[in-house]
Amino acid sequence: MEYLLELASSPTAWIALATLVVMEIVLGIDNLIFISILTNKLPEQYRQKARRLGIGMALIMRLALLSTIAFIVQLTAPVIEILGQAFSWKDMILIAGGLFLVWKATTEIHHSMDPAPEDPKTATSTVTLGFAAAIGQILMLDMVFSIDSIITAVGMTEHLPIMVIAVVVSVLVMLFAADPLAKFINDNPTVVMLALGFLIMIGMTLIAEGFGAHVPKGYVYAAMAFSAAIEVLNMMSRRAKQKKLTAEA
């Protein structure tokens, strides 16, 4: 109890908490985009349930990982060397997660360009398998992003309560933002392609970091913000033209 009171009265602790909360929210954007795109592939009545279940499991996974900080820190130690390049468990997890993101985003782009006709006879089984597959894929990426998130938290502060609060706050923000973001992506088809492009970029970044090439997150998110701003301008332009055509008609 005294330890918690000391933290609560320490300005340094509050600064560390605020910084870590912002970092965790920013890192959660990648996860949230993936969850939004994936759950939008499900029938409407399953989407919100899948999003909440996936984000809830992400919270449980991150809190569980926080309880094994000593083990998580050890994941950064090299365990294998290939052609002079040393790899830790963290590196291999990032590479696997990055490859999965690139594969998934590329597959979704292919489906968007050449959608396969749905067979009404298999619609029910497709819904069930789709929901289970969506949760499985969300959990897989949750693990990758959770490990990256926890290692970032450990590098910024040594106080476990600060890490726990930052993780809980970031996941709650994801929970509240999930439905509006998913709806926005679903209502704007061009945004889906842009978001899939983001996932490919994020996947390549994870692969690069797994091979030891550090990519500053600021550059990645600046590129995403710039692309999103251009897309917003395109949307405004299309709506203005549509209003003009409607008025002329």
pLDDT level of residue 5 (50, 70, 90 thresholds): low
Q: Residues 56-81: pLDDT tens digits? A: 888 888 788 777 766 766 777 888 88
With a cut of 80, say whether residue 42 has pLDDT above it: yes
With a cut of 60, say whether residue 170 has pLDDT above it: yes
> Is 77 in contact with 188 (CB distance < 8 Å)?
no
> Is 28 in contact with 145 (CB distance < 8 Å)?
yes
With a cut of 60, say whether residue 14 has pLDDT above it: yes
With a cut of 70, say whether residue 6 has pLDDT above it: no
At 100 the pLDDT is 85
Q: Which two tokens stand for residue 184?
A: 């926005």
Q: In Å, how far from its chain's centre is CA 129?
A: 22
d(CA 198, CA 221): 9
pLDDT level of residue 128 (50, 70, 90 thresholds): very low
Residue 216, H or E segment = none
Q: Residues 135-154: pLDDT tens digits? A: 888 888 878 777 777 776 76
- Report the pLDDT averaged over residues 23-39: 79
With a cut of 70, say whether residue 156 has pLDDT above it: no
> Is 138 in contact with 50 (CB distance < 8 Å)?
yes
Q: Is the pTM of this model over 0.75?
A: no
d(CA 141, CA 104): 11
Q: How many other β-carbons are positioned within 10 Å of the β-carbon of residue 241? A: 10
Q: What is the DSSP letter of 158?
A: S
Sign of the alpha-carbon dihedral angle for 136, 100, 25, 46: negative
At 124 the pLDDT is 44
- Sorted by sequence, the CB contacts under 8 Å of residue 39 that are 6+ apart come out as 46, 47, 50, 51, 54, 134, 138, 182
pLDDT level of residue 127 (50, 70, 90 thresholds): very low
pLDDT level of residue 162 (50, 70, 90 thresholds): confident
At 2 the pLDDT is 62
At 116 the pLDDT is 55
